[in-house]
RNA sequence: GGGGAGGUGCCAGAGUGGCCAAAUGGGGCGGGCUGUAAACCCGUUGGCGUUGCCUACGCUGGUUCAAAUCCAUCCCUCCCCA
């Protein structure tokens, strides 16, 4: 495709490209570019926040470029300090490998496997001698390292910074040297690291990579960035109805951004929706339904998307039981008779973590047995037939005898 | 190496001998409301078959009828000086 046209497609939804003219130049002279994308295998599950960058990589692949999915198995031993105010806990190497494998599988839900090369940076970083590390470190200064916002904040607030954390960005930059990458992608929180890659490449006599940053996606809470540790994430392997439900729970203000970054709907249509939402011509729930349906269709298929849409309507609109409810088989041998204490059952089924929590749920009117609100904490129930136990609005369990 | 400050619940942060399972805020959970698992309002938030008992305020030990609070050793963090 014509370089100018490609640039237009690549630019869509990006926050920053440094330098755009260099990118155009590379597109003209090289044709197919080597695009580096580094992954920190500290968490195994890819969520929609990660998908923003992955979708852009997919776009680059479709334009004929080659993506290097770089698993930072070595760097994970430090943990990326980006955006953190605390030192990360280092992971055990088996865990890192396991995460890497899971990550890779999940990434190919979005990326084109045929146009992706997967590499592990331990391959070269583990062999780097101390003297080479010193040479690498000499290319950057403490003062400049402290310019980095997260380090700066930690320094200002008198939070500890491990010396090894200073090395992290340098290792990531060194990866770019080893790969001789043309382009590196990341979220805006990666800007410093990506720029350092450029500088270190120059120090090693290479043409610097072009840096492309993508927006950070807020999680379901609507304010903080999507992350597993904050519990506001939507994983791309979550079961369809969870994915759908979580998408329905995003704050209304985020609808436009989610459409823009997570679906293939074109900009004109998204703009139109945003305008209609503002004018009250489009109900936010309707907009979210479409959003959720599109995203579930992408990761699964349109028929499951339709099914979960109906399920949502049944459960939350009509407040009825969903069609599919997981079962829990009570081991009757452990019971004296056919009766079981409700609090105990709640804990057994996992609908409540502790008995105290189970009590609380009952006291607050959050527990239903066969669609009847449970009022008595001492209730003993008979398990003669099949029953439905419900906690809150969205947790259901079919209780049967083993 | 010397001097100073500090380590409290999921997180932030009060409490400096009994009234402390520990204020307040955030988050979580439940309820109400709603064409939403949005927004908003209310409640709740260590465990235990629970008007009581057990375990908890960095670790260990001590003082005391009584310790998150006092003392000692140790571990960890930050600041200043070197």
ipTM: 0.89
- A264 and A122, same structural domain? no
Q: Which nucleotide is nearest to A287 (CA to C1')?
A: B36
> Residues of chain A with pLDDT > 70: what percent?
96
Q: Stated in angstroms, how far is A89 CA from B2 C1'?
A: 32
Q: Stated in angstroms, how far is A154 CA from B5 C1'?
A: 18
- A261 and A210, same structural domain? no
- A361 and A312, same structural domain? no
Classify A365 in phi/psi space as left (phi over 0), alpha (psi -120 to 50) or beta. Answer: left
User: Of A297, A317, A337, which one is at a domain's C-terminal end?
Assistant: A317
- Supply the pLDDT for residue A401: 87
- A199 and A141, same structural domain? yes
Residue of least CA–C1' distance to B36: A285
How many residues does the structure list for chain A?
402
In 3D space, the residue among A76, A69, A37 whose CA is nearest the CA of residue A194 turns out to be A37
Q: Which nucleotide is nearest to A344 (CA to C1')?
A: B49
- Kindly tell me if the per-residue pLDDT of A394 is higher than 90: yes
Instruction: Kindly state whether residue A234 falls inside one of the protein's structural domains.
Output: no
- A170 and A28, same structural domain? yes
Q: Can you give the pTM of this predicted structure?
A: 0.88
Residue A110 sits in a domain of what CATH number? 3.40.50.620
Instruction: Say how many domains are in chain A.
Output: 3
Residue of least CA–C1' distance to B38: A251
Q: Which nucleotide is nearest to A288 (CA to C1')?
A: B36
- A313 and A332, same structural domain? no
- Supply the pLDDT for residue A285: 95
Q: What b/e string do you get for A60-74 counting C-beta neighbours within 10 Å, with b at 16 or more?
A: bbebebebbbbbbbb
- Supply the pLDDT for residue A159: 87
Instruction: Kindly state whether residue A121 falls inside one of the protein's structural domains.
Output: yes
Q: Which nucleotide is nearest to A285 (CA to C1')?
A: B36
- A331 and A268, same structural domain? no
Note the strand B nucleotides within 7 A of protein beta carbons: 27-32, 35-39, 43-50, 77-79
Instruction: Kindly state whether residue A307 falls inside one of the protein's structural domains.
Output: yes
Q: Which nucleotide is nearest to A254 (CA to C1')?
A: B38
Instruction: Kindly state whether residue A225 falls inside one of the protein's structural domains.
Output: no
Residue A313 sits in a domain of what CATH number? 1.10.240.10
Q: Stated in angstroms, how far is A261 CA from B12 C1'?
A: 32
Q: Stated in angstroms, how far is A65 CA from B13 C1'?
A: 51
Q: Stated in angstroms, how far is A149 CA from B81 C1'?
A: 28
Residue A390 sits in a domain of what CATH number? 3.10.290.10
Give the span between the Cα atoms of A238 and A274, in whole angstroms: 28
- A197 and A156, same structural domain? yes
- Supply the pLDDT for residue A402: 82
- Supply the pLDDT for residue A34: 96
Give the span between the Cα atoms of A38 and A20, in whole angstroms: 21
- Supply the pLDDT for residue A108: 95
Q: Which residue has the higher pLDDT, A8 or A91?
A: A8
- Kindly tell me if the per-residue pLDDT of A296 is higher than 80: yes
- A137 and A39, same structural domain? yes
- A59 and A190, same structural domain? yes
- Supply the pLDDT for residue A86: 66
Q: What is the mean pLDDT of residues A360-386?
A: 93
Handedness of CA A117, A122, A123, A125 (dihedral sign): positive
- Supply the pLDDT for residue A91: 65
Q: Stated in angstroms, how far is A37 CA from B56 C1'?
A: 45
Q: Stated in angstroms, how far is A160 CA from B59 C1'?
A: 21
- Supply the pLDDT for residue A246: 95
Range of the domain at A384: 327-401
Taking only the tens place, the pLDDT of each residue in A90-125 is 666 777 888 888 999 999 999 999 999 999 999 999
Taking only the tens place, the pLDDT of each residue in A29-87 is 998 999 999 998 877 789 999 999 999 999 999 999 999 999 998 888 776 666 666 66
- DSSP lists the bridge partners of residue A52 as none
Least confident residue range of A51-60, A194-203, A224-233, A367-376: A224-233
Taking only the tens place, the pLDDT of each residue in A260-290 is 999 999 999 999 999 999 988 999 999 999 9
Q: Stated in angstroms, how far is A158 CA from B72 C1'?
A: 29
Calculate the CA A122 to chain-centre distance: 24
Burial class (CB in 10 A: 0-12, 13-18, 19+), A319: exposed
Q: Stated in angstroms, how far is A132 CA from B5 C1'?
A: 40
- A279 and A193, same structural domain? no
Instruction: Kindly state whether residue A219 falls inside one of the protein's structural domains.
Output: no
- Supply the pLDDT for residue A76: 82
User: Of A253, A287, A317, which one is at a domain's C-terminal end?
Assistant: A317
Q: Which nucleotide is nearest to A315 (CA to C1')?
A: B37
Instruction: Kindly state whether residue A264 falls inside one of the protein's structural domains.
Output: yes
User: Of A164, A179, A214, which one is at a domain's C-terminal end?
Assistant: A214
Taking only the tens place, the pLDDT of each residue in A329-365 is 998 877 767 789 999 999 999 999 999 999 999 999 9
Residue of least CA–C1' distance to B49: A378
Least confident residue range of A175-184, A223-232, A284-293, A333-342: A333-342
- A209 and A358, same structural domain? no
Q: Which nucleotide is nearest to A249 (CA to C1')?
A: B37
- Supply the pLDDT for residue A106: 94
Taking only the tens place, the pLDDT of each residue in A18-29 is 889 999 999 999
């Amino acid at each position: 495709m014509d370089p100018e046209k490609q640039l237009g497609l690549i630019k869509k939804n990006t926050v920053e490209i440094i330098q755009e003219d260099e990118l155009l130049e590379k597109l003209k002279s090289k044709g197919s570019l080597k695009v580096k994308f580094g992954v920190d295998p500290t968490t195994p599950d890819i969520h929609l926040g990660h998908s923003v960058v992955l979708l852009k990589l997919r776009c680059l692949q479709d334009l004929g470029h080659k993506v290097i999915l770089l698993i930072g198995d070595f760097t994970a031993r430090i943990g990326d300090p980006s955006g953190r105010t605390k030192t990360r806990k280092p992971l055990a190497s088996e865990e890192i490998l396991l995460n890497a494998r899971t990550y890779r599988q999940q990434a190919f839900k979005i990326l084109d496997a045929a146009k992706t090369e997967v590499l592990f940076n331990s391959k070269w970083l583990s062999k780097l001698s101390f003297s080479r590390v010193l040479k690498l470190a000499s290319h950057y200064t403490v003062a400049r390292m402290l310019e980095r916002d997260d380090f700066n904040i930690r320094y200002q607030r008198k939070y500890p910074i491990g010396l090894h954390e200073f090395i992290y960005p340098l290792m990531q930059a060194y990866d770019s040297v080893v790969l001789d990458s043309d382009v590196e992608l990341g979220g805006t929180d990666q800007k410093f690291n990506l720029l350092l890659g450029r500088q270190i490449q120059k120090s090693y006599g290479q043409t610097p990579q072009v840096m492309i940053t993508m927006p950070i996606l807020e999680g379901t809470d609507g304010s903080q960035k999507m992350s597993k540790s904050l519990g506001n994430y939507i994983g791309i392997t979550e079961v369809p109805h969870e994915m759908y439900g979580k998408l329905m729970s995003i704050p209304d203000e985020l609808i436009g951004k989610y459409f823009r970054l997570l679906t293939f709907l074109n900009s004109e249509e998204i703009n139109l929706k945003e305008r209609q939402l503002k004018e009250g011509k489009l109900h936010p729930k309707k907009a979210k339904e479409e959003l959720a349906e599109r995203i579930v269709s992408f990761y699964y298929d349109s028929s499951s998307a339709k099914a979960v849409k109906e399920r949502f309507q049944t459960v939350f609109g009509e407040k009825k039981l969903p069609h599919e409810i997981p079962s829990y088989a009570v081991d009757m041998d452990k019971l004296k008779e056919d009766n079981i204490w409700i609090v105990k059952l709640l804990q057994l089924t996992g609908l409540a973590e502790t008995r105290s929590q189970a009590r609380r749920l009952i006291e607050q009117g959050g527990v239903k047995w066969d669609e009847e609100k449970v009022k008595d904490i001492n209730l003993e129930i008979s398990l003669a037939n099949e029953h439905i136990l419900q906690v809150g609005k969205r947790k259901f369990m079919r209780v049967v005898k083993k």
